[in-house]
Chain A
Amino acid sequence: MRSGSNLEKVLEAGHFAVTCELGPPKGADGEEVRELARLLKGNVDAANVTDNQTAVVRMSSIGAARLMLDEGLEPVMQMVTRDRNRIAIQSDILGAAAMGIKNVLCLTGDHQSLGNNPQAKSVWDIDSLQQLAMLKAMRDEGVDAVGEELKRSPEIFLGAAANPFGDPTSFRVTRLAKKITAGADFIQTQVIYDVARYEEWMEEARDRGLLDKVHVMGGIVPLKSAGAAKYMQKMVAGIYVPDEVVKRMKAAEKGKKEGRKIALELIEQLRTVKGNHGVHIMAIMWEKLIPKLTEEAGLLPRPKV
Chain B
Amino acid sequence: MITGDRKPLEEIAAMVEGFERVLILGCGTCVTVCMAGGEREAEETALALRLRGRERGVSREIWYANVERQCDEEFLQEAVDHVARADVVVSLACGCGVQHMVTVFPDLIVYPGLNTTFMGVTEELGVWAERCLGCGDCVLERTGGVCPITRCSKSLLNGPCGGSADGACEVDKTIPCGWQLIIDRLEAIGQLQRLDEVLPPKDWSKSHSGGPRFRIREDVRGTDDVEEGAQ
Contact = CB atoms under 8 A, between A and B. Distances in A.
Contacts of A110: 163, 170
Interface in A152-186: 161, 163, 166-168, 170-171, 174-175, 177-178, 181-182
Given A122-B154, A237-B168, 6 more contacts: A111-B153, A124-B156, A168-B160, A175-B160, A237-B170, A238-B162
Nearest to B149: A124
20 contacts: A108-B156, A108-B162, A110-B163, A111-B170, A111-B171, A114-B170, A127-B158, A127-B161, A130-B158, A130-B201, A134-B201, A145-B201, A163-B162, A166-B160, A167-B165, A167-B177, A168-B183, A170-B183, A237-B168, A238-B163
B191 to A, nearest CB: 14
Contacts of B164: 166-168, 237-238
A36 B198 CA distance: 38
Nearest to A167: B164
B167 A167 contact: yes
B195 A127 contact: no
B194 to A, nearest CB: 11
Interface in A107-148: 108, 110-111, 113-114, 122, 124-130, 133-134, 145
Nearest to B161: A108
B154 to A, nearest CB: 5
A177 B171 CA distance: 26
Contacts of B183: 168, 170-171
A190 interface: yes
Interface band, chain A: 20 to 34
B196 A130 contact: no
Contacts of A66: none
B195 A111 contact: no
Interface residues of B, number: 31
Interface string A73-90: 000000000100010000
Interface of B: 153-168, 170-172, 177, 180, 183-184, 195-196, 198-202, 204
B205 to A, nearest CB: 11
A161 B162 contact: yes
Contacts of A178: 158, 195-196, 198
A167 B168 CA distance: 9
Contacts of B155: 122, 124
A113 B154 CA distance: 11
9 shortest interchain CB distances as A-B pairs? A237-B165, A129-B158, A127-B156, A237-B163, A237-B170, A108-B161, A238-B162, A126-B201, A130-B201
Nearest to A183: B198
